[in-house]
Structure 1
Amino acid sequence: MRKTFFTLIALLLSLTTVNAQMLTPDGSITVTRQHTAVINKHMAPAMGPNRIAMDADERIMGYYDSDEMGTNALGLNGSGQFKAGVEFTKAQIGHFVGGQITKVRFALGELIGASKVSVYKVALESGEMTLMSEEAVASTQKGWNDVTLTTPVAVEDGVDYLICYDFTSVPGKYPLVVDQDVNPGGAVDGGCLMYGNLGEGGEGWYNFGTQYGNFCIQAVVKGGSFPDEDITISSFTSSKFVQAGQNIAYSYRIKNNGNNIPSAYTIDVMLDNNVIATAETPVALTNSPQTVNGNATIPADAASGKHTLAVKVTKINGQAPTEYTEDDIAGMDVSVYAESMLRQKNLVEQFTSTKCTYCPLADPVLQKLSDMRGDIIIVAHHNKIPAAGDPMICDDALAISDMFNMSGNPSGMFNRYYEPSMELNADQTLTLGLGYNSQYVDLAAEMLNQVVENSNSVPAFANINIKTEYNESTRELSVEVYGSGVSEFKDYVGEDAALSVFLTEDGIQAAQTGGSRDEIHDNVMRKALSDAFGSAINWDGNTYSNKYTITLDSSWKPENMHVVAFINRPVTDNSAMSDVWINNAETCKLGESITAGIEAPITDKGTGVEVERYTVDGRKISKPVKGLNIVKMSDGRTIKVIVK
């Protein structure tokens, strides 16, 4: 499932309580966009997926066929009566021809009172629309609204179907949930249609294209022209990296797509079309998709470099499938590596604002996480959500917030790692909410600690050392970030890997909405010495060195400042959320230096992460200290590290 940052500059100007204004075709009534994030996610079951009741021969027809829903909502800044709809084309109809649309479901971010569902048949050549069925909806709820049609609609070949629901627009309300995040194929033209009087164009249907995503509208179809036996596999995910001879975890979605539900089937796990594991009927099939989790061992003789890991249906009821096999396989590229570096620190980027009432709730959560691990670096990006006026905003932090902050304030990224687990990341966004009430702090920290652990499944392929020199009289700061990488660094992290170097400051006093008039703010992003999203790494063979010079602002207190350096994948408007991860991170105070990179890459077969660190005399420490450090790894290894 590819999840991109939409059209970032256009859409992610400001989220949550600041509404990014988007023009309709004629520019009269505008569409506003809001993220549906809530404080205390655990307390929001109404917005979670619910299962629609279906008969044995009914299936979901739509841009996606799961019970998930999008996490963004739209609204209009004008009042009036409108319809929100999607057009189901041949791509969605497929084998549903010959069946009947028996139910319709649509997702809402807010209550809209009474509504009405309509199903139109659309002639392909003329575009003429014929109303086939409509159903009054007496009341609505947040999340999915399931409607049974009194008059089912036959699904015919050679026509499209437009399904819509009525709503009353109220400025400041955001009822129209869109699904660009959960739709595996991205937004589809015709997935965001609206009927009403939107200005100079008068009353009629308006196509908003793909910029907002698709409205969360699905149909349930009874019957169709499906083969007797067919299985569909989709949404394969796995670790990006693995060492030869080690286990790799994977997951995928599977469902029955035939008239008959098979009693037995075989799934082969393949590396470059070579079978490395087999699973017999890992889950009892239904007509709704289910998630299957598994593990396989990568062959010990697998060559370093990129490979394709995939799962494939090879038998159904003991027979090899011969028809409709294009969706019997799903996979992704994984890299087998021979050596890695020790992960030094984990970067947490916090999105916050002095104008945000709930932002103080994040501090106890991050403090608890830091206490649990001892290897956390926090950078606080102050922004304009929900309003301008935060005195600690800087251009670089604002650019990063505009690019990444999809969950509103307070939220955070953890090594910029996209967490695929629905249990840990229900909204399936890169940023995770941090606004938890006090009774949930321990639980939230444990959950976020697991996200950090999962992010460490991506090995570090370079180390980071920092040397700083500060001139008190001139306030000039010189920084050198240097280190070494494994021989295949560019194969694993990329020729375009970037180095980001930030300045942060602690102990800044500023009034906080929802907190104190004399609130103390730590980890505040002051400036990026590199580009805000990182600059090219100056490699010389397997070593690198990047140098920076800056004169500190007169208002900054150098004794409270840190340099934060990290190696990351490049970030662009078209970056996939799964491809902006951070590979290693380190920090030190101004005027000090840290040489934390180990002398040589780790070449054994361990894949663990650091869990404890000791001095040579057995004293437990929370961060590297000069001399010989003894590092215990989560996979049972003990590594000796020289810190200069």
Structure 2
Amino acid sequence: MTKHLIGKTLLMAAVCLASVSCSGSGDDNEGPEGAVFKATVSPTTISADGVDAAVFDVRFRGTKLTADEVTFYNADDNTVVEMPGMKFTTTDPGTYSFYVKYANLAPQEGEEAEYTSGTLRINAVEGSAGNDEVIDLEPNDQTGLTATVSTTVVQAGVDQAIFVIRYDGEVLKEGYTIYDADTNRSITLPTVTKTSASGEEYELPYYQATKAEVRSFWIAYKTSNTLKNPVTVTAVDFAIPTRPADPQPGSTSFKRRSMLMQFTGLGCGYCPYMIASLHDVLAEESYGSRAVLGAIHTYSGDPYAPDEPLDSAFGVRSYPTVIFDMKSVLYNYNYNTNVTNLKNAIDTSTSEPAKAGIAVRTAVDGNTLVARMTIKAAVNGSFRVGAWVLEDGLSGTQSNYGMPDNGYNFNTHNNVVRKADSRDEGSTSFAGHDMGQLNAGDTADYMFVITLDSSWKKDNCHLLFFVTALDGSSYSVTNAIATNSLSEAVSFEYE
């Protein structure tokens, strides 16, 4: 469901010695084909009801091909198969295997005249294939008019974003009007029948895109409307990531990592003291395995500064500054003291059990990244989530007020925060998108859609995900993970 972040001021406890600082302002379905030609299918398990469909996505040089441009074959007997609309449906349960051929009529240098995909397998099962979103239709304690959707990201032509419209917590069956937020004109959406846990049926409106686009909607009911809080759905033309499997469904004892935010910059002459200290501490397995790092270049007009005002959001006034878990602060002193302080802070942070675990699966198509982040609560609490894009290998001459290089390459910058997706529109807090209240053992998903800047080298980029928990009146990080690349799956990690 779509949830909205309510901004809160983060309270930080500063741990400051006499400081020295600068002041500043795949699988079988992937196939062996190369990057120039790729064929996938999603979902790989469908209901054998003649309606549920597996949709093929075939691309050449990044452009999606149509059924008229490719030929489908039955992989069992090599016979040609018609695949209207690039979709497969059946009423017969079983496993179906296909491959795709594409004739390249104008090959460029290094290309083949014909491409053949790997084997694409689809399981058709009796009953439900488990592809439906679980939708809560029971009364809740919300007040006024509210609208949510079953998912905020859909694959065009495949997925449905199903609306649940409530007034004072009760699901409305009629009497409301849905408006397109771009035109403010009323629209009529198709409906699908869903049954609540108590057995009551509802005809719920849904949005299904025919192309990649972003659509927003607002609702009017009697004298109320959601004009200031529209529902937004992003449609992409590739398969949406699914949840990674949970290796220990009955456990809530998660591996704990601290999140370090390093505020730095190329023009900060004292920053090499902290850069060297962080490098050496995180190079030790006992500490590097318990922490993730994002380097935030916000000092004095740094060329790698993110668009988001992270320095002002966290009250940073001197450089270098390292903030742990969005709640405690370390300032610069000297190399040896920095190392001691960093180790003590990681020890203190990770001595607290994780209140939630993180699982992630991502997909990248062109410059569009979709990440499904799943959290699993270890305790009852209120949680938020965020996803940041980091880039390694950026070059820039680093000012240095006397820190010996000792083999460090201060002019190559890693873990640089390029994008911080953890602030809802209208909020000043970057503590994450609101996931609401969860009970111990509950899971919840958040779908991130991030546009990657064409100037970023995608092969050098990876992701940082974090979950914050409400502690008193503020949110602080209770767990974090970092991926090795933009396309990755990470399951829950247990102690």
Q: Same fold (TM over 0.5)?
A: no
Rg larger in structure: 1
Where relative contact order (Cα < 8 A, 6+ residues apart) is larger, the structure is: 2
Give the structure-1-normalised TM-score.
Answer: 0.34
